[in-house]
């Protein structure tokens, strides 16, 4: 990136995307803030110009700045996630490769071990045979799946579900069928427990039937539209390692089911010396549940 362009980019980000100040706020109170992040890490590649060894410290620095309580990542490979976990010792993680075991990309869930207890977790594939590992039946070449965790917040005693996914990037019908399957399975959960659904949906929020399927009739609400403050409002979430996607779609979402107050949301376009940590920007939401456990 030329020096002049880099300076202009940095000035834009400095003006529109201030460093987080609410992360982890009121963590000891009766209604603590929950910082939720979704982040497509881009799978680890050993070759430049965006090789994982160069990006790894930047990804870690950005995650530490956001200071999430719970985070869903997409595309991470097993060795890559192990390295990330080693760099983030306050977190544990749960996941399964989309090709089974440690093979393929993960929809990993990272969480603060001191705050959250995972009571249950599971995985299913986005296909007509969801329990069949690595199954695809809707024409998509890549296997797509969901990893979910039932958490208990040790600070409040509250239970909630956290679901993480990555929908297909090529076939619209596969995205819509995936959304229908996710909605059907979430509808079968206990009605009194809130649900967070995060991921890379490969669909424009507010402008794609996939989004409509998940949000129609108020089934899920978009934390972006609920938030009192929105940071990075003019940005898309896919940067391709090379551009500031002004005016482009928001394809990474944090959806919520259940009463919540969303203090703020952010598309975080931080970079360092012209290097983006990933080809997606992370999305963060700071929210509080409105009902007692």
Give me the sheet containing 252-257, strands edge to edge: 116-125, 145-153, 159-166, 195-200, 252-257, 221-222
Average pLDDT of span 36-64: 96
Architecture field, domain 3-289? 4-Layer Sandwich (3.60)
The pLDDT-based confidence of 219 (bands split at 50, 70, 90) is very high
The pLDDT-based confidence of 224 (bands split at 50, 70, 90) is very high
The domain locations on the chain are 3-289
User: Is 0.75 surpassed by the pTM of this model?
Assistant: yes
For residue 52, the SS3 value is helix
Q: Exposed, middle or buried by CB within 10 Å (0-12, 13-18, 19+), for 87?
A: middle
Cβ count within 10 A of residue 122: 12
| Number of separate helices (H) and strands (E) present in the chain | 6, 13
Specify the range with the lowest mean pLDDT, choosing from 94-103, 104-113, 283-292.
283-292
Q: Where are the beta strands (DSSP E) in the chain?
A: 34-40, 70-74, 91-94, 109-112, 116-125, 145-153, 159-166, 195-200, 221-222, 229-231, 252-257, 260-267, 283-289
Specify the range with the lowest mean pLDDT, choosing from 31-35, 88-92, 117-121.
31-35
- % residues pLDDT > 70 (the chain): 89
Q: Using one digit for the tens of pLDDT, what is the confidence trace for 245-293?
A: 999 999 999 999 999 999 999 999 999 999 999 999 999 999 999 987 6
The pLDDT assigned to 1 comes to 43
Rounded to whole angstroms, how far apart are CA atoms 52 and 41? 10
The pLDDT assigned to 48 comes to 86
Q: Using one digit for the tens of pLDDT, what is the confidence trace for 181-212?
A: 999 999 999 999 999 999 999 999 999 999 99
Rounded to whole angstroms, how far apart are CA atoms 30 and 15? 34
């Amino acid at each position: 990136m030329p020096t002049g362009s880099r300076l202009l980019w940095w000035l834009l980000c400095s003006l529109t995307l201030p460093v987080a100040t609410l992360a982890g706020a009121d963590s000891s109170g009766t209604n603590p803030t929950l910082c939720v992040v979704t982040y497509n890490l881009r799978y680890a590649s050993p070759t430049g110009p965006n090789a994982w060894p160069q990006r790894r410290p930047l990804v870690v620095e950005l995650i530490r700045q956001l200071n999430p309580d719970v985070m869903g990542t997409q595309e991470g490979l097993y060795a890559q996630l192990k390295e990330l976990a080693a760099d983030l010792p306050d977190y544990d993680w749960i996941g399964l490769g989309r090709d089974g075991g440690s093979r393929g990309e993960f929809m990993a869930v990272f969480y603060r071990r001191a705050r959250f207890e995972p009571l249950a977790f599971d995985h299913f594939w986005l296909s007509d045979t969801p329990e069949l590992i690595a199954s695809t039946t809707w024409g998509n070449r890549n296997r797509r799946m969901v990893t979910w965790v039932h958490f208990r917040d040790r600070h409040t005693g509250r239970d909630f579900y956290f679901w993480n996914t990555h929908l297909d990037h090529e076939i619209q019908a596969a995205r819509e069928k995936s959304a229908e399957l996710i909605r059907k399975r979430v509808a079968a959960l206990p009605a009194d427990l809130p649900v967070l659904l995060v991921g890379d949906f490969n669909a424009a929020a507010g402008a794609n039937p996939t989004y409509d399927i998940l949000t129609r009739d108020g089934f899920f609400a978009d934390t972006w539209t609920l938030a009192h403050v929105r940071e990075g409002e003019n940005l898309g979430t896919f940067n391709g390692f090379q551009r500031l996607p002004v005016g482009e779609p928001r394809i990474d979402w944090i959806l919520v089911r259940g009463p919540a107050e969303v203090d703020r949301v952010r598309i975080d376009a931080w970079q360092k010396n012209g290097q983006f940590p990933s080809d997606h920007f992370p999305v963060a939401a700071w929210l509080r549940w409105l009902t007692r456990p």
